[in-house]
Amino acid sequence: MNEPSEQALFESALRRIAAASAVLAVAGCLVCFVWRGWKWAFGYLLGAAVSHLNFRWLKRVVDSLGQVSGRRPGWKFAVLMGMRYLLLAAGAYVIVDFTPLSLPAALAGLFIPVAAVILEIVFELIYASSF
More confident residue, 116 or 69: 116
- Answer for the pair 36, 104: CB distance below 8 angstroms, yes or no: no
More confident residue, 128 or 110: 110
Which pLDDT score is estimated for 121? 93
pTM for this entry: 0.76
- Cα–Cα distances (Å) from 127 to 10, 18, 24, 130, 131, in that order, read 14, 18, 21, 5, 7
> Average pLDDT, whole number, for the chain?
83
Would you kindly state where each structural domain of the chain is located, as residue ranges?
Answer: 6-129
Q: What are 81-97's pLDDT values in tens digits?
A: 778 778 878 877 877 78
Question: Does the pLDDT at position 131 exceed 70?
Answer: no
